[in-house]
């Protein structure tokens, strides 16, 4: 079972790329270069999944500003991914997507991240991996619940803020707001005047 603060499970999978070509994507491609947001979804040609994938794609510039590579992953083949992207949303597709879709046909990647459902699909798992390959945050939803892109960005901002400044991020923290020093004095200062001033 993968745990936050530990090394993220490695993977190397066939993928359908934003260039409309097939390729191979490995976690090692990004180690030392970028943060990785790996998100699993149940299947192509389903219902909640298109709304999430299109939303992630629409926010691609926000992720790029944060030096984060998005990777979507399901147990479908790269060929299914290609067909799905060639269909418009009006036809039940997702259109052109600005990040790779990984093909976890063997289901080993979903299994290694502990999101493989007994029905053979991946649950909605989201995993934030830092440049050193450590898992910094994770969340898992049932297939009926779509993710919040804004909350995902807030999670990234909080992890990157801690990495840069060593300050922890309290409840409902957002980028630009006051954080706190990880000490008894830090929490005392934050609770007595931090919230009122920010």
Q: How far is CA 92 from the centre of its chain?
A: 23
Query: What is the reported pLDDT for 198?
Result: 42
pTM of model > 0.85: yes
Give the CATH fold of the 12-146 domain: Glutaredoxin (3.40.30)
Residue 141's SS3 state is strand
Is residue 197 over pLDDT 50?
Answer: no
Least confident of 97-106, 121-130, 141-150: 141-150
At 191, is the pLDDT very low, low, confident or very high (cuts 50, 70, 90)?
Answer: confident
Query: Order of strands, edge to edge, in the sheet holding 12-16?
Result: 22-26, 12-16, 101-103, 68-74, 35-40, 124-129, 135-141
Catalytic residue among 49, 73, 109, 169: 49
Overall average pLDDT of the 128-148 stretch: 94
C-alpha angle 162-180-153 in degrees, rounded to nearest 5: 45
Overall average pLDDT of the 82-98 stretch: 93
Phi, psi of 195 (to 5 degrees): -70, -35
- Candidates 126, 189, 192, 188; CA nearest to 159 is 126
Cβ atoms within 10 A of the Cβ of 9, count?
19
Which residues, in sequence order, are CB contacts of 183 under 8 Å at separation 6+? none
At 194, is the pLDDT very low, low, confident or very high (cuts 50, 70, 90)?
Answer: low
Query: What is the reported pLDDT for 193?
Result: 74
Is residue 196 over pLDDT 50?
Answer: no
- Candidates 152, 134, 137; CA nearest to 53 is 152
Is residue 173 over pLDDT 80?
Answer: yes
| 49 carries an active-site annotation | yes
**What's the pLDDT tens digit per position in 145-171?**
999 999 999 999 999 999 999 999 999
Which residues, in sequence order, are CB contacts of 179 under 8 Å at separation 6+? 161, 162, 165, 167, 168, 169, 170, 173, 190
């Amino acid at each position: 079972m993968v745990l936050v603060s530990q090394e993220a499970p490695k993977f190397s999978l066939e993928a359908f790329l934003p260039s409309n070509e097939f390729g191979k994507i490995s976690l090692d491609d990004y180690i030392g270069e970028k943060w990785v947001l790996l998100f699993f979804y149940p299947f192509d040609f389903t219902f909640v999944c298109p709304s999430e994938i299109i939303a992630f794609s629409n926010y691609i510039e926000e992720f790029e500003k944060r030096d984060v590579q998005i990777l979507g992953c399901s147990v479908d083949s790269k060929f299914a991914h290609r067909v799905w992207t060639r269909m418009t949303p009006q036809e039940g597709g997702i259109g052109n997507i600005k990040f790779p879709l990984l093909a976890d046909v063997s289901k080993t990647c979903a299994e290694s991240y502990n999101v493989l459902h007994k029905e053979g699909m991946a649950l909605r798992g989201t995993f934030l991996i830092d440049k050193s390959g450590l898992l910094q945050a994770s969340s898992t939803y049932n297939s009926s619940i779509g993710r919040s892109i804004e909350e995902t960005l807030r999670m990234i901002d909080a992890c990157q803020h801690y990495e840069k400044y060593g300050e922890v991020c309290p409840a409902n923290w957002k980028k630009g707001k006051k954080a706190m020093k990880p000490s008894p004095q830090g929490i005392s200062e934050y609770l007595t005047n931090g919230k009122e001033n920010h």
